[in-house]
Copies of this chain bind each other. A is one copy, B any other.
Amino acid sequence: MSVNESEIAATNSGGQEPDARKTSPAVVKRLSLYSRVLQAMEFDGQDKVSSADLARRLGLNSSQVRKDLAIFGQFGVPGFGYPVMELRREIRRILGTDREVRVILIGVGNLGSALMSYRGFLKQGFTMLWGFDADPVAAAQRVRTRIPIFHVDDLEQQIASRPVDIAVLAVPQEAAQGITDRLVALGVMAILNFTPARIQVPAGVHVRYVDLSLELESLSFYVQ
């Protein structure tokens, strides 16, 4: 140990991330949930909240809430709780949702066009930049937004003009890996994959699967 403990504590109490990308997905997901609840509380004019409150609202354990938050700094005040506005701001900073997060969508079919105009994304502050489709004319007819739709061949050109943070994949299953390879080559580091295809990416690129059929299959198990 070359640094003493008070130095470590000092570093972290300012709210610096630890060795960030190692945080478990479950923790990140909960941070996102806390952020939502805090948003509602802030809207209601509530100025402080305890870990027990937060836990109750989300069906979690209060120890877990405190532990999750303590990973990133000391945001609470013993005997008082957490200041709502400040905590929310901190969590947004931690998640990176305080900055512009640029999103593109590839595959403007049935599902893709719904995702492109999904209000929830806008509401949470995401910037949906562009859509891409193998048939941009047909795609444009499906979607009711002013977001420009390009031919998928223009992927390279567009991303070169303005880098994107997250790509949403809603292409046919067979096209998933090919598009993924191109996205990765273009430096896209995060993909939200709505196809059931398991896609291969180099280490460091983050993929999240939203497998709609799989959700139904899982539920099917519990209802028989």
Contacts and interface: CB of A to CB of B under 8 A. Distances in A.
A160 interface: no
B222 A206 contact: yes
A196 interface: yes
A166 B220 contact: yes
Contact of A192 (B20, B94, B196, B215): B215
Interface residues of A, number: 59
A120 B165 CA distance: 27
B208 A124 contact: no
Contacts of A101: 216, 220, 223
Contacts of A165: 219-220, 223
B114 A214 contact: no
A222 B126 contact: no
Contacts of A31: 221
Contacts of A110: 114, 117-119, 144
